[in-house]
Amino acid sequence: MTTTTVGLGQWQTSRSPGESLCILGLGSAVAVCLYDPHTHTAALAHVMLPTGRDGEETPAKYGDRAIPFLLEKLGEKQARVDSLRVAVLGGATMMCRGTSALLEIGDRNV
């Protein structure tokens, strides 16, 4: 079995039952996991921020871009989008609640 670590703002796909995708240390970041059990195809993004800017070259870094991007990548691997299992993990509040809505990035990422 092999394990591929997905870094901050990065993404990865896999189509092998013997391969694992993982993220270490989420904090306020969010792991977006999509998995097709029929084709054993998975996609994982390590989302840092809720929204990106136009022209941004790193779609997995932003929540509003990561999911459509991962769906596109899974489609290229012939995953069955209608049977996907989805998990979203992380989104911790790293600062004191109520300080500022701008600092509550974890909530906004989720």
pTM equals: 0.87
DSSP 7: P
Q: What angle do CA 65, 70, 30 make, to 5 degrees?
A: 65
- How far apart CA 86 and CA 95 sit, in angstroms, is 27
Amino acid symbol at 69 = F
In angstroms, rounded to a whole number, what is the distance separating the alpha carbons of residues 20 and 52? 28
| pLDDT tens string 62-104 | 999 999 999 999 999 999 989 999 999 999 887 665 666 666 7
pLDDT band at 41 (very low <50, low <70, confident <90, very high): very high
